[in-house]
Structure 1
Amino acid sequence: MISGASFFPAPVSFQEAGMIRALIIFVMLAGLAMPAHAAEIAPPPPDLSSLRAKAEAGEAAFQAYFGYLYLNGSAGLPQDYEQAFKWYHKAADQGYVAAQYNLGILYDEGLGVTQSHEAGYFWLTLAAQASGKQDYAERRDRAGFTLSLAQTDELKKRAASWKPVKVMQIAPPESSSVAKPAAPVAKVMAPGVPVPWFKVPPAVQKTVNDHVGAGSMIGKVDRAIEDGVVVYRAQINKPGDSTDLVRVSAGGKLIGISKMAQ
């Protein structure tokens, strides 16, 4: 289970403006529309066979993309942490930074793999040093809370000498060739896991309470991974039957407030 102090800063907002985001847009343009609310009905998912062929051929960006899909249960695929771990690991081994970040979180949280704070710290260290991102470094430090100074020093030494695996690219059949779009144009809403209010981190509770307003009540709260970052989403039931969705990072930072469809 994802702990309150972690998964998924926004980074992938898993934040990376690179290939995974572009691939998500490709799928959306190909016909995918993730419903933000249960009342909406999504169209049939796209054919992922050509994308999977590229992932199986060793292309790290596509491997990371399938990690994202399985992590969130998107594009007609089930939410499967073991499959997410498998695909993120393949991409991370090749030095794909976003995959290294999310792989570190999977290890640290014990999602799809036996929990290991050491392995989580190692992969998050690689992602932090390669990206230079402060939020990556902060997430790495949270993974190291239970580790000794000697342990973290040794893991940093290992990370400093780590080299990516060189994978021989196996060209998929020509019929499965897929162009990689260049720029993202939209984002999908990741499915969330319901969280009881008493298990919501205090920093998140404070931010949500600060935006409740007079006459409003806190409704359902869930936790999701958006762009590789843990995000808490609280429904605020307001007078007049309107509902706001307050999105807050695991550290308590307000990400945004939006109106929910009725």
Structure 2
Amino acid sequence: MATKLVSSYNEPAIGGLIVAEVIKSTNPIEISWGQETSITFSNRTLICVTNNDVLRALARDAPKYQLYGKTPIERTQIDHWLTYTLSMEKDPADELMYLNKCLAPLTFLVANHLTIADLAVFNELFSCYEELKAVGIPVHVQRFYDLISAQPAVKNVLQGIPKEAKLGKRGTTTRGGSAEKTTERKQEGKFVDLPGAEMGKVVVRFPPEASGYLHIGHAKAALLNQYYQQAFQGKLIMRFDDTNPAKENVHFEKVILED
């Protein structure tokens, strides 16, 4: 008996539908739409409260695709990202910043291939993409979103969503509130900490002046400089030839100005 997946019109399980598309060649799934999301395996029905429930159930039913990872460590990391998605609506600005930092050196979130961690995060990004786009999506998050969107299974699912489905999970009031909150956070970071800073034009330097031997304060300064460089997509210059106070002279003042 084929597995049956019912997706809610009000909160479509986009990630779950994508998994169903990925595994359909070996695990046939009957897709339908209704008032609540559920999965039926051999006459036993699971009511799915979130998209993550669908992801876990289908990934476990098709282990050959390794969508839930192939090692205990990978599965634990995937669980982390599934939990992370539950907090994305509460504070999107902070959550996107965290996601962006994690994605900087990565293509996929956990393994070197698509997993339900990627689909869980994509599901949340897709559900409120226009709101996030209005306030600015970090570069690595956008790259990740474009990558997942380009997957054949994802394209097929998105093209097949019925017109009756509501693609935005949040109501009008929540959307406006979230967008306003995110905008305020962004302005606070830009104009209070770095007045007049412009994207792509910020240059930070470590160390800022001759200040003796390296110590914990330098580590803090380096991390702070890196934060501003990444936040404003600017330039970070690292120099280690002027930390000796004996060299604190006009020559090094010129070097600082040149940097």
More helix per residue: 2
Alignment TM-score > 0.5, same fold = no
Question: Which structure is higher in RCO with an 8 Å CA cutoff and minimum separation 6?
Answer: 1
TM-score (norm 1): 0.26
